[in-house]
């Protein structure tokens, strides 16, 4: 299959995160991480409700935050009236779902000390420092956050990135745990048109200890996007040697946590034709005006069940 040339952006523009308290979420993303508050919207939102098949009154407040000057990797925070359960409530590390938001940081040891001093908790006492099989050196640590959201603080030791004054930038990869990595890789390559930036099998005692896996388990990990665009990437993870529960059906408005992503495309008709040829169902929502993006809107799903909204002016 020919790779898609439809997308006008090399990365997803925004990831939607359902929240119970927008002020709490903004305290983290804007107050502590220093991301830019790009836009806000109060009260009912008929267009967004139509896109998500909700009642307008289901939506209470919204905010869009992101790295200053960047057009991708934004976070669309939506506070629902009477919000549902968290997507990752009670989840095992290897359960299938949109799992993590990877936030780039400058000087992870210092950020770790600052956040601990501010009362933030972490899944492990110390950060990990590793070199991937492809030679990429990185540090990371996982931090639980609002609405059962798992935030990964990620320092790429050999990369230059546009950080906020507080030392953060995001979102880099959105991490998806899936039961069939090859099927998901084919989708993001052939339908979305992304490039494979890395593809590794990670295993051994250090990985098992870092992630909390049983002996003999391993990870098939690949990152998809464009080499010139560090934000709004996709990281596909298949845990081998363990079987996780499928939590993707939970990732729907009005749930809390990571719900879906949005892309901007050049030609929505060309995209729907590609989806039809590929046997992928899609839903037409007409023209909508939402906080992250406006235009003709459709949605469809990845093989694992991640919802993808696509917009064309």
Amino acid 2: pLDDT: 37
Higher pLDDT, 231 or 4: 231
Whether the CB-CB separation of 150 and 17 falls below 8 Å is answered with no
User: Who's near 87: CB < 8 A, 6+ residues apart?
Assistant: 18, 97, 98, 148, 247, 250, 251, 255, 256, 257, 258, 259
Pairing of strands 14-19, 74-80: parallel
The reported pTM is 0.93
Residues 290-299 have pLDDT tens digits of: 999 899 999 9
* Pair of tokens at residue 79: 């506070």
Helix residue ranges, H only, the chain: 22-26, 46-52, 108-117, 181-190, 205-211, 268-277
- Angle among Cα 300, 301, 305 to the nearest 5 degrees reads 155
User: Who's near 28: CB < 8 A, 6+ residues apart?
Assistant: 145, 146
Taken in order of first residue, the domains within the chain and their CATH numbers are: 14-86+251-312 (3.10.180.10), 97-240 (3.10.180.10)
Over 60: is that where the pLDDT of 8 sits?
no
Longest dimension (CA), the chain: 54
Amino acid 211: pLDDT: 67
113: left (phi over 0), alpha (psi -120 to 50) or beta: alpha
Rounded CA-CA distance 13/108 in Å is 25
Whether the CB-CB separation of 298 and 41 falls below 8 Å is answered with no
Amino acid 215: pLDDT: 72
Output helix, strand, coil percentages for the chain, rounded to the nearest 5: 20, 40, 40
Banded model confidence at residue 217, pLDDT cuts 50, 70, 90 = confident
């Amino acid at each position: 299959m020919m790779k898609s040339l439809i997308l006008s952006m090399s990365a997803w523009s925004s990831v939607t995160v359902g929240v119970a308290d927008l002020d709490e979420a903004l305290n983290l993303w804007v107050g502590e991480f220093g991301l830019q508050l790009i836009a806000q919207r109060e009260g009912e939102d008929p267009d967004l409700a139509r896109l998500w098949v909700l009642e307008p009154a289901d939506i209470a407040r919204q905010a869009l935050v992101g790295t200053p000057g960047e057009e991708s990797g934004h976070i669309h925070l939506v506070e629902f009236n009477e919000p549902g359960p968290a997507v990752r409530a009670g989840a095992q590390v290897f359960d299938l779902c949109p799992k993590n938001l990877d936030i780039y940081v400058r000087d992870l040891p210092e950020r770790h000390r600052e956040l601990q001093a501010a009362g933030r908790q972490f899944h492990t006492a110390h950060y990990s420092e590793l070199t991937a099989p492809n030679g990429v050196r990185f540090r990371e640590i996982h931090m639980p956050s609002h609405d059962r959201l798992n935030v990964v603080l990620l320092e790429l030791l050999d990369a230059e990135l546009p950080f906020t004054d507080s030392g953060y930038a995001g979102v880099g990869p959105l991490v998806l745990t899936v039961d069939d990595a090859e099927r998901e890789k084919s989708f993001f390559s052939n339908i979305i048109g992304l490039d494979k930036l890395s593809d590794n099998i990670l295993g051994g005692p250090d990985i098992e200890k870092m992630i909390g896996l049983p002996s003999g388990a391993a990870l098939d990990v690949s990152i998809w996007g464009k080499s010139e665009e560090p934000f709004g990437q996709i990281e596909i993870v298949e845990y081998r040697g363990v079987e996780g529960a499928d939590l993707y059906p939970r990732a729907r408005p009005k749930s809390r946590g990571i719900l879906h992503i949005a892309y901007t495309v050049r030609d929505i008709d060309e995209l729907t034709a590609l989806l039809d040829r590929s046997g992928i169902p899609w839903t037409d929502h007409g023209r909508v005006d939402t906080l992250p993006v406006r235009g003709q809107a459709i949605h469809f799903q990845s093989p694992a069940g991640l919802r993808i909204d696509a917009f064309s002016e």
